[in-house]
Amino acid sequence: MLYSIAMNFRHTICFPSARLCLDVCLDVCLALCLAATLLAQSKKASPGYTDTPILPGQRWHVHDSNRPHPNPVTPGKILGEAPSDAIVLFDGHDLSRWMQNPGGKPVDARWKVVENGYFECVPRSGDLLTRDKFGDVQLHIEWSEPTDVKGTSQERGNSGVLLMDRYEIQVLDSYNDLTYADGQAGALYGQWPPLVNPIRKPGEWQAYDIVFEAPKFDGEKLVRPAFATVFFNGVLVHHRKEILGTMVHRQVARYTPHGAEEPLALQDHGNPVRYRNVWLRRLNGYDQPER
């Protein structure tokens, strides 16, 4: 189209000097149009096939050329750094993405932000909750136990990562201290101990990388339980383990229906546990539209 317009315009020019100048300009324009067309065509044409078998359970051919390509994400430069599509819940400065809910009345977060980039539980102020709600997520969170070691078992540096405000990955000082196995650091509390105990000393930073699949309900009925995969300081401690239900003490956990998305919470268990570098990614599944 652009090519034909340019050629028609060229044929309407009569003056020789003007004609020469326009010829050069039009040649450049035509070359640019041609390059742009070729670039657009090369971007559309994706390698692959459409005459191969359909993959079982999918709507795509093997090597399907029409299958959407995963969107690009820039990873963090160092392990644990948020990638480009993460929601950063704490970047070292403020707790504006968090709140607390004493007596069912939402208030700004009262946990303490400390200057060198972490925040700390203010004992007996209540759990900390995100203002936003989430379903399936990949979560990165770092935590540190008090160096002033006090108490034993569940009284020693207790906190917790409460997915959907109810499914707890235990946070505890389990370094050279015993508690019941399904209550130590990294446990799906009251359900499954971690596969191993890779905890560091109190005062050192620990990291959880969690893949959480939210439960699904149909009205009051559970149609799919929640699952958690957890890396503790880079070591696998749960591999897509089924969660039995809401965290509970001295009872068998069970599910109570709730929303498809709920806040992420951090537990106030009366100990000044510290957190930093908290981010998550919503998990949206395969074959998302290309951006």
For the CB of residue 113, give the shortest distance to Mg ion in the complex, in Å: 21
Judged by CB under 5 A, the residue of 146, 157, 160, 194 near Mg ion is 160
Q: Provide, rounded to whole angstroms, the least separation between the CB of residue 75 and Mg ion.
A: 31
Closest distance of CB 56 from Mg ion, Å: 43
The site for Mg ion, by CB under 5 A, has a size of: 4
Q: Across-strand partners of 206?
A: 143
User: Binders of Mg ion among 269-288, rule CB under 5 A?
Assistant: 269
Q: Is 158 in the site for Mg ion (CB under 5 A)?
A: yes
Q: Counting contacts by CB under 5 A, is residue 184 touching Mg ion? A: no
CA distance 88 to 47: 36
Q: Least separation, in Å, of the C-beta of 46 and Mg ion? A: 49
CA distance 42 to 30: 18
Which residues, 120 to 149, sit near Mg ion by CB under 5 A? Answer: none
The CB-of-131 to Mg ion minimum distance in angstroms stands at: 22
Piece in contact with Mg ion (CB under 5 A), picked from 15-23, 45-53, 107-115, 159-167 = 159-167
Nearer to Mg ion by Cβ, of 183 and 281: the residue is 183
Q: Does 186 help bind Mg ion (rule: CB under 5 A)?
A: no
Whether 264 contacts 163, CB under 8 Å: yes
| Exposed/middle/buried for residue 194 (C-beta within 10 Å: 0-12, 13-18, 19+) | buried
Sequence-ordered list of residues with C-beta below 8 angstroms from that of 61, at least 6 positions apart, any chain:
48, 49, 50, 51, 52, 53, 54, 55
For 281, list phi and psi in degrees, rounded to 5.
-125, 135
Q: Which is nearer to Mg ion, 226 or 265 (CB)?
A: 265
Residue 139: name the closest of 232, 248, 255 by CA: 232
Q: Which residues contact 182 (CB under 8 A, 6 or more apart)?
A: 188, 189, 190, 191, 192, 193
- The site for Mg ion (CB under 5 A) is made up of 158, 160, 267, 269
